[in-house]
Structure 1
Amino acid sequence: MARRTSLVNLNQISDINMTPLMDLTFILLITFIITFPLIEQGITINLPKGKAADMMETETRSISLNLQKQLFLDDVPVSEDELRAQMTQIGINDPNTTIYVRADRKLPYGDVVAIMKILHDASITKMALVTEADQ
């Protein structure tokens, strides 16, 4: 004999549970807040302070000079001759590229001028010195 039970109609839940979605959103937000400053520049340089202008250029490159006088072009270590060759190539191929120069504040002024001379010799007319914002 078959067992007879009454099956209760289960109500379908038509609402989306927002709690896991909110948890995921907050985790992603916190992750991006923590990692964004690390992504900005990988080379640690103690920049001088100054008032920054709005810089909204399309094509940019970055030259960094740390306290040990090591040169970096977009986080890639380069020698002065390699930098000169690459800047000459950029000056010929795309003279509208903006070059950001990042140098440690404790470096002698002449070291920064030497980089700017390389840019001038390569016919690069758009260059900017990167500083930290004044508080």
Structure 2
Amino acid sequence: MTSSARTASTTCGRQLAALALEFLADSDPHSPAVQLARAYRAREADGNLAVMQGALSKELGVTPLAAVLIELRGAAVPFLTAAVRLGRLSPTKAQVIAYRLTPAIGDAAAAALAAEELHSTQTRFFAT
């Protein structure tokens, strides 16, 4: 990961951690998501956005498939938004393309969830 990408990830991860502590105010204070959010806010951990998203999703009951689909769609849509802003696509055409990407996004999510090499550098916060 480039230094600018890491900075963006940790900045956003720490912001999400702050929100997570609000969302999870009534949750078990010893849950992995709460512990991770506290560690991020205290700068005891890097603050990686993807790790915080995963922990928060799990704590909120979002299924792994739904979490991956949300992330993949969230990665694809900004490209279409940029094309609209640059005048290369109409908003309607961008929506049609987003819809047509559904099977590819679904396939990518399935492949990601089937991968055996998924891991995190934040493993100390999660039971194995």
Shorter chain as denominator, the TM-score bin is under 0.3
- TM, length-normalised to structure 2: 0.24
Which protein is richer in helix relative to its size? Answer: 2
- TM, length-normalised to structure 1: 0.23
Which protein is richer in strand relative to its size? Answer: 1
